[in-house]
Chain A
C-alpha cells in the first residue's frame, strides 16, 4: 500500500524558535496533501490543504503566517511552525491523496518548552 512518511517523528524546541516538519509520499505522487493537528484525547482537526505549486488553503482560525506550508513537489510538503509557543505543542499529522484515497503519515510530536 501507499506509504507516507513524516520527519521528524518527535521534536522538542524552545519557545520562539521555528520548527519544520516534512511530509513525503514515498511511492506515489500526491495530488493534494493535508495537515492536521491533534491535541491529547481529541480528534484530528484539519489545519490546511496543500496543492503542489499553489498556495495552501487554511481552515478558519489557523494563522497562515504562523503555520507556513510549502508544497514543493508532488511528493513533498513541509509545515513550518514559526515562533513556536507552548500552546503549539501537539501531534501534527499529514496525509497525502491520490485521486481516490487518502493516506496518513505517522505523525510528528511537537513539544515547545
Chain B
C-alpha cells in the first residue's frame, strides 16, 4: 500500500479567499526561516523570510508569522489567486543564508485554488 509520507497535506481554497499555511519547525536554535513556493516540475521559489528576532513580516499579499514559543510558522496569502496553486515549503536555518548552516525543509503543503 501507499506510505503515509506520500500524501502531502492539502489546502483547498476559493479564489479570492485568504489562505493560511502552517508549519512546525524542529530546532529552537534556528535563527532564520523562509517560505518557498514550488510549482510542479520546478525548483523552489523564494516567497518571504523572517529572522527569529521578529514575529511578523509582510510582503506583497503575503505575511509570515513566527511563534517561537511553540516553534510554529505560518504563511498567510491574501486574496488567493489560481496562480498561487503550488506546494509551499517552510525551511529553517541556523542563520541567514544557510551557507554555513543548511536549510532544513518542512514536509510541504499543497495549495489548490478553486476558480
A interface residue numbers (CB < 8 A to B): 4, 6, 31-32, 34, 40-46, 49, 91, 93, 95, 97-107, 109
B interface residue numbers (CB < 8 A to A): 5-8, 36, 41-46, 89, 96-100, 102-108
Chain B, residue nearest A46 (CB): B102
Q: Is the CB of B89 within 8 A of A106?
A: no
Q: Which residues of A contact B43 (CB under 8 A)?
A: 4, 6, 93, 104-107
Q: Is the CB of A107 within 8 A of B106?
A: no
Q: Is the CB of B99 within 8 A of A31?
A: yes
Cβ 8 A contact of A34, one of B8, B36, B45, B102: B102
Q: Which residues of A contact B102 (CB under 8 A)?
A: 34, 46, 49
Q: Is the CB of A107 within 8 A of B97?
A: no
With contacts A43-B108, A44-B89, A104-B44 known, is A98 near B97, CB below 8 A?
Answer: yes
Chain A, residue nearest B6 (CB): A41
With contacts A40-B6, A42-B5 known, is A107 near B41, CB below 8 A?
Answer: yes
